[in-house]
Chain A
């Protein structure tokens, strides 16, 4: 059986006025039907670029590698083919709900739009379905709300509207790019809960992107950790949390607040390297407490789900 989403060797390059830049390099992952994958990494590590490029939403980027959704190829597909898939089989929600809704459209019409486009519903039927969707994402008095413009809504309400629009056509895969980062802390938890519930109920595949390892690990079975455009470690959430093998992941864990709130958080010192500069060896070496001279000599490849010459815990166990 083939996976819902299968991505192999995804590389995204931008040519800018100040030189070329590889924002994502050799990224591979897969999501089974109904599965959940979390993509974690600091800001600028290439998380957004990795998913936007799959849907053809990065004009001006040179995208290579292979990717397929339910067996249909994504990279190299025509604009028309992708337009048919987007909002129907795969949907996406974005970080900032304040800017992701069209300010000149009524909320209900924005939720109804994918239904009209992909299901061919007429205005009245689409409007009725949109109202039902607004109710299903927990919005109060949905019929009234459908007639409101986005500026009348709070951030949390707008993100719920985005979710309603994304789920309108019951996609097999939902990609959520930092869906709660721009929200208040209390609202964050509610929206995450909603997403997790909808994912379970609809048995929908979910790719959840966040810079917050704690948040992602509560929802996702599998994790993919990115650093400076590369996957540094990949694996089941449980294993990654209990026995991280990449020093960067270990550092992230140490800087993630736990429920018990014990101990001081340790920030990883240093900053992410400039992707415009040549990066010969391990990209984390500069900030790595375990770095050795070999680390900066030649590129490190992803071996046994970890991109490190000297992984932390013994990797013998996972050899097949």
Chain B
């Protein structure tokens, strides 16, 4: 691992520590006073509480939606490689088509659907995660499919076929174990992409509600503060969002390079 990945990993550990530490201190009722004061929109909430809550939600939805879309992608890619032929071509073309539809557009439509059906100011966290998985499977599916295809060309895979290992078992027991490093890398690269997409949509007001904000929603809810003396109330959220995205990206990038080198 290079120093950028190490720094990224350290940053992620610190950010996770911040959210857990905040939760622990809240539970113990030992929270120190927030240096940034109260949330200007909701005087009974502190900026610290809102921003760290937002960090927690962004982290949670990034990781779960990232894991969900990578799992879906892996399952689809395995099916495609196992069944081959027209089925594989169908998944490939489907992913390509889906990939060309703008994510934000789909999320806006899904947001309207949610509001029409369940009402409320914004969408719920589980609904947001499901929506992000629904739009996020296409790119990793293509990547995993290509990865499996190239792993299947390795000599020991031919050797496994030659001693009569059935195709499904070859894929699950011989090919997949070789793909874990790569899968972990694309998962880690999905997370910041998802966090950014969600931040954008929530900033614009089509995502999470203001009383349960992600970092993006908090920033969107207070966008007018940026040009005032109260800019210190949004600066921490901007900083945390940038740190979160860059840190995930660096760690993912480092792992991807290593996985690529190992081949």
Residues of A whose CB lies within 8 Å of any CB of B are: 52, 55, 57, 79-80, 83-88, 91-92, 94, 96, 99-105, 113-114, 117-118, 162, 165-166, 168
What residue of chain B has the Cβ atom nearest to residue A96's Cβ? B155
Q: Is the CB of B163 within 8 A of A99?
A: no
Provided the pairs A94-B155, A96-B155 are in contact, do residues A104 and B164 lie with their beta carbons within 8 angstroms?
no
Given A85-B164, A92-B159, 17 new contacts (CB under 8 A): A55-B162, A57-B158, A57-B161, A83-B161, A83-B164, A86-B161, A91-B162, A92-B162, A99-B154, A100-B156, A100-B158, A102-B160, A103-B156, A105-B174, A113-B163, A117-B165, A117-B166
Q: How far, in Å, is B259 (CB) from chain A's closest CB?
A: 14
Contact partner of B162 (CB less than 8 A), chosen from A84, A86, A103, A104, is A86
Judge if B178 is at the interface, Cβ distance under 8 Å: yes
Q: Is the CB of A94 within 8 A of B158?
A: yes
Q: Is the CB of A86 within 8 A of B163?
A: yes
Which A residues lie within 8 Å of B178 (CB)?
103-104
Q: Is the CB of B155 within 8 A of A99?
A: yes
Judge if B177 is at the interface, Cβ distance under 8 Å: yes
What residue of chain B has the Cβ atom nearest to residue A79's Cβ? B167
A–B Cβ pairs within 8 angstroms, 17 of them? A83-B161, A84-B164, A86-B162, A87-B164, A87-B165, A88-B164, A94-B159, A94-B162, A99-B155, A100-B158, A101-B159, A102-B156, A105-B174, A113-B160, A113-B165, A117-B165, A166-B163
Q: Is the CB of B159 within 8 A of A100?
A: yes
Which A residues lie within 8 Å of B163 (CB)?
86-87, 91, 113-114, 117, 165-166, 168
Most buried by A among B154, B162, B165: B162
Which A residues lie within 8 Å of B166 (CB)?
80, 83, 117
Bound: A86/B162 CA distance, A: 6
Q: How far, in Å, is B4 (CB) from chain A's closest CB?
A: 28
Bound: A91/B154 CA distance, A: 18
Which B residues lie within 8 Å of A87 (CB)?
162-165
Residues of B whose CB lies within 8 Å of any CB of A are: 154-156, 158-167, 174, 177-178
Contact partner of B155 (CB less than 8 A), chosen from A100, A113, A118, is A100
Which A residues lie within 8 Å of B159 (CB)?
92, 94, 100-102, 162
Bound: A57/B157 CA distance, A: 10
Which A residues lie within 8 Å of B162 (CB)?
55, 57, 86-87, 91-92, 94
Bound: A104/B164 CA distance, A: 19
Which B residues lie within 8 Å of A102 (CB)?
156, 159-160, 174
Q: Is the CB of A118 within 8 A of B164?
A: yes
What residue of chain A has the Cβ atom nearest to residue B158's Cβ? A57
Q: How far, in Å, is A85 (CB) from chain B's closest CB?
A: 7
Q: How far, in Å, is B197 (CB) from chain A's closest CB?
A: 35
Bound: A182/B238 CA distance, A: 58
Which A residues lie within 8 Å of B158 (CB)?
52, 57, 94, 100
Which B residues lie within 8 Å of A83 (CB)?
161, 164-167
Bound: A92/B161 CA distance, A: 10
Bound: A96/B178 CA distance, A: 19
What residue of chain B has the Cβ atom nearest to residue A84's Cβ? B164
Bound: A87/B170 CA distance, A: 14
Which A residues lie within 8 Å of B161 (CB)?
57, 83, 86
Q: How far, in Å, is A105 (CB) from chain B's closest CB?
A: 8
What residue of chain A has the Cβ atom nearest to residue B162's Cβ? A92
3 interchain residue pairs of minimum CB distance: A87-B163, A87-B164, A86-B164
Bound: A98/B154 CA distance, A: 11
Which B residues lie within 8 Å of A118 (CB)?
164
Bound: A133/B159 CA distance, A: 18
Bound: A308/B175 CA distance, A: 46
Bound: A99/B166 CA distance, A: 20
Q: How far, in Å, is A141 (CB) from chain B's closest CB?
A: 24
Q: How far, in Å, is B158 (CB) from chain A's closest CB?
A: 6
Bound: A91/B162 CA distance, A: 7
Which B residues lie within 8 Å of A55 (CB)?
162
Q: How far, in Å, is B165 (CB) from chain A's closest CB?
A: 6
Q: Is the CB of B164 within 8 A of A117?
A: yes
Bound: A133/B158 CA distance, A: 22
What residue of chain B has the Cβ atom nearest to residue A99's Cβ? B155
Q: How far, in Å, is A57 (CB) from chain B's closest CB?
A: 6
Which A residues lie within 8 Å of B155 (CB)?
94, 96, 99-100
Q: Is the CB of B177 within 8 A of A104?
A: yes
Which A residues lie within 8 Å of B165 (CB)?
83, 87, 113, 117
Q: Is the CB of A114 within 8 A of B164?
A: yes
Q: How far, in Å, is A107 (CB) from chain B's closest CB?
A: 12
Q: Is the CB of A101 within 8 A of B164?
A: no
Q: How far, in Å, is A11 (CB) from chain B's closest CB?
A: 21
Bound: A91/B161 CA distance, A: 10
